[in-house]
Structure formats: C-alpha cells, structure tokens
Chain A
Amino acid sequence: MSHPSFPRAALACAALLLAASAAQAEPGRLLASQCAQCHGTNGAGPGFDELAGKNANDTYDELIEMKYRSNIEGIMDRQARGYTDAQLRLIADYLATLPGNGGD
C-alpha cells in the first residue's frame, strides 16, 4: 500500500525512473543469465548449486579451475569452456551482487 499522503503521480514517475535504471544493463547481467537454465533465475535455484551472493573470487576461481581442468569431470567443466576468462570474471562479480536464498 502506498502512503496515503504521497502523490500517485510521483509514484508513477518513480516507477518510470526505476524502469529507466533497469534498462541500464549492469555488466555481467546478460552473461550471468546464461547460468540460470541450470542454477535458477538470478542464480537463486532451483536446480544445481545456488550461485547468488557467493564470494566473487571463489566463484571465479572455481570457474577457472573447471575451465582449465584437463580431464572432464562433469558438464560444468565443458560449460566453463564456453566463456573467456574476462566473461567468467564479469559473471562471478555479477552473481556475487545477487541476494540468493542462502542455499549451497
């Protein structure tokens, strides 16, 4: 419910401004959305390991380890090979900013 004394027009304008800021894509958002098919929208499940809100360096290090591991141990070792190191950095940094559900 909106505050009764607050003008509705102002709320509408605020919504529009939020729309405008939403339109300014954050770096990594589109790349990280490619994780969602298996890790849930915004990396917050359901599915495989929750990715949202984890330490960015830990996520990045894990992705790099999977990408350069010589023997394929699972499907993520292949998926990690689908991105440049710079893209993996953007993905890890972006996922770290998301709230998640506190799951593993």
Chain B
Amino acid sequence: MSQFDRRQFLKLAGALSAMAALPKGVSAATVAPRVVVVGAGFGGATVAKYIRMWGGNVKVTLVDANPNHVSCILSNLVVTGDLPLSSITLNFNSLKTNHGITFMQGTALSIDAAGNKLTVSTKTGNKVLPYDHLVLSPGIDFVPAAGTWNPTLTPHAWVAGSQTTLLKNQLAAMRSGDTFVMTVPAAPYRCPPGPYERACVVADYLKRKGRTGAKVIVLDANSGITAEPEAFTEAFEVTHAGWIEYYPSATVESVDSNTKTIVTSAKTVSNAKVLNYIPKQRAGIIAQSLPLNSSGFVAVNPLTYVADGFTNIHVIGDSCAVPASDGKGVPKSGHMANSEAKVCADAIVRALSGQAPDEDIATSSACFSPITNTTASWLSANFIYGDIFDVNGVVKGKGMHRVDIGEAPSNNINQDSFEDMYKWSESLFADTFI
C-alpha cells in the first residue's frame, strides 16, 4: 500500500463500517479458510492459483511429491531430442511468490474425511494438514497387464520426467532395422491424441536419422484411432508410410520387460529394440481412497468437482469422471485439467462466501499435435453444463454436454500449426504456473 489520500480514507472508513455485513467465511472473527491441493500439475497448480486470484483471504497449500512439474505436453518432442527436458520443467516460484501459495513437497498418504485432515509424508516426517476444502489433482496411476512389467526397463513415458529421458535414450540407441513397439491403452486414458502423436514423431525421427528398415509398431487396445482419426490415418498411411504399422483391437495379454516381449489379441512382438508399453490407466493413488467408477475414476459433480458422496473433497483433471453424454466423454488432458480447475476454484470461492455454484459454465480442451518436426495438427473439444444424453438421445441427467468437437482440416496440418503449438504451450504453461 502506498500513500492514502482523503478519498481512499473515506472509502476505507465506509468499508470498516460495512464489516458487520460481511458474509460468513470472511468475517473479521474468522481465520482464513484453508484449501489443500494435492498434485501440482495442470489441474492442481491452476486451482491453487485461481483460488488465490479470486478468493482473497484464503490460505492455499499445494502438495506435490516433486519440487517442480515436468509437463507431458510437448514431451514427445523431448523424446525425439527436438526439445530439452528443461523446456518442459516448470517451477513453482511464481505460485509461491506472486500468488502466496504455500508449497509442501511430500506424498499424500491418507484422507480423514470426517476430520477434514490430510496426512502428507515429507522428508521431515508426516504432516497433518487440516482443510476446509481438499482438491485432489493427482493425475493417473497405471493398471499393467499380466507378466513382468518393469517401467525402468521398458518406459511408458506417460508421466514426464525421468521416464521421458529413458525413452529418449532408448530411441537414440535404435539402429537400422530395429523395431519400436508401443501401445495405445483402452480409453479413457490421459491425452487421447498423445500415443498417435508419439508414433508420428518417433517415425519421423527414425526417417530423419536414416534408420533404414526401422519401424514403429502401434498396438491399439481400441477398435480404431481414438482422436484426430483423419489426421493420424493420413499420417500413418501417407506421411509416414512404410515406417508405421498400426494394429487396432490389440488387447494386451502379457508383457515381459526383460525380453521386451508383448502379447496382444492382434499381434505378438518379441525382442523389440524399444518396448514403449503404455498401460491402462486409473485415478491417481490418493484419489483411489475415494469410491471409483467402473473405469477406475472418481465421479464428480460437474458444477463443483465435489466427489460423489462428499461435500468438500474435490477431484479435478485426469482422476475425475465428469458426467457427460454417452460417447462424448470429457477428455483427460492438461488443457482440460486447467479448464476444470477454474470451475472448481470459482465454486470453492463461492462456497466459502455462502454462494451457490455458477451453472452458466463451460469447459474446453484444445491441443496441437506434432506430425513431424515441422508440422502439427490440432484438436478442439467444448462442453457446456446442461442436459446430457444417452446413446438414444434421451436425457439421462445433468452434466457437461459436448457441444463441439473437431480436428484440424487437412489444410491446417502445416508449419503454422507447429508454430501455434508453441504459442499454445507457452500460454498454457504461464496460465497454470506463472
């Protein structure tokens, strides 16, 4: 605060006399409400930041096992060596200094829902964090197939960081005639276009490096390409023809990381040079202490992201299951996690001042997918709160109804979109972490 003039003083004096009229939760007699957020990725960092931006006097503690966040977005270009890992490593300095968020490095161990307390394991022992609202944004956990799966031998690289570097090094060691085998997990999984994007940029890398006869084998547990089907069909059959073999309906039956062997219902590959097995996914570990739906995610209220059966425990991002129209599910992506985080932040700020949640809400996802190291495609999906429908078009309840989806028309798959990818990521990274 700088110098006060008379006008400001009078305004403040008026404010003081209005103190008695303050709603519950921000009255002078009450301590600041406490929000604890678990997971400092695109969901958790955004909800922490926006509660501080919009909520005024709220104490926000952000808990993450790592001292910074390594983005999955752009990580396929780290695998190919086009970007350094540092370019997708995002620190929490601005969240702490500019937004006044308390960061705690540690692993969430358990939730005492009745007592409104979270226990966190830290380097200096267990800490108990009382909360008025708890937000879980822990991303994903893996559900591996039978066999001997060891991700330190056969990286998934579906959580970025050391896994990304491991896959990068394995790709760099490939020579002519070698095989790179990867899987696409059964939906729903994190980042629908991501596996196809990876197949494209790995094929592009092998081609550019002159690895004659090397190939990428894509084993897709789904019945077809789940995202941007036109762009990726064109990429597989034309742009990277001869470098990618695609097998749909390939359910993984077993995996052996020692021999780099994978058995699926459509094809078996033994002794691959690189086995990039991306397992089926479910809610992140701490969210598994809440009831899970049949897909392994936490059903939430779309207006508040409160987990079904609770009043002040919210789940956002990849771990949550938002009610949606059949066949038009809400995608799990960093962009969408950021989008949901804002709805959740607004609902928490309203709840703390005794207001009902806003119903005039929308969420969205948008992303750019590299096809080569100079061209990219894009995907866009938008949702509005309201009636949601079953497969027959009959209203089945309220939720986030998908009002639009579309992939880039072919004349948009070009260098301009590749450059736009960096504008998008720069903005999304900043909106989340700065």
Contact = CB atoms under 8 A, between A and B. Distances in A.
A34 B339 CA distance: 6
A78 B406 contact: yes
B430 A41 contact: yes
A25 B427 contact: no
Nearest to A74: B412
A98 interface: no
A11 B2 CA distance: 12
A33 to B, nearest CB: 5
Contact of B403 (A3, A24, A72, A81): A81
Interface stretch (B15-23, B208-216, B260-268, B315-323): B15-23
B56 interface: yes
A6 B12 CA distance: 11
Contacts of A33: 50, 342, 346
A11 to B, nearest CB: 7
B352 interface: yes
Contacts of A38: 366, 423-424, 427-428
The range of chain A's interface size is 35 or more
A64 interface: no
Contacts of B409: 72
Interface in B388-434: 403-406, 408-409, 412, 420, 423-424, 426-428, 430-431, 434
A85 to B, nearest CB: 12
B350 interface: yes
Interface string A61-94: 0000000000010110011011110010010000
A88 B193 CA distance: 28
Contacts of B408: 75
Interface in A1-53: 1-3, 6, 10-25, 29-31, 33-34, 36-41, 45-48
B187 interface: no
Contacts, number: 158
Contacts of A19: 26, 55-58
Nearest to A40: B427
Contacts of B176: none
Interface centre among A13, A17, A40, A72 (most CB of B within 10 A): A17
B1 interface: yes
A25 B54 contact: yes
B423 to A, nearest CB: 5
A7 to B, nearest CB: 10
Contacts of A18: 56
A3 B4 contact: yes
A13 B28 contact: yes
B361 interface: yes
A11 B15 CA distance: 10
A47 B430 contact: yes
A12 B15 CA distance: 11
B1 A1 contact: yes
B55 A29 contact: no
Interface of B: 1-4, 12, 15-16, 18-19, 22-23, 26-28, 50, 53-58, 335, 338-339, 342-343, 346, 349-350, 352-353, 355, 358, 360-364, 366, 378, 380, 382-384, 403-406, 408-409, 412, 420, 423-424, 426-428, 430-431, 434
Interface of A: 1-3, 6, 10-25, 29-31, 33-34, 36-41, 45-48, 72, 74-75, 78-79, 81-84, 87, 90
**5 interchain residue pairs of minimum CB distance:** A82-B382, A19-B56, A47-B427, A78-B380, A19-B57
9 contacts: A10-B12, A19-B56, A23-B355, A31-B362, A33-B342, A36-B427, A38-B366, A72-B406, A75-B378
Given A37-B366, A75-B408, 14 more contacts: A3-B4, A14-B12, A16-B22, A16-B57, A22-B56, A23-B56, A30-B343, A37-B427, A38-B428, A48-B427, A72-B406, A72-B412, A82-B384, A87-B360
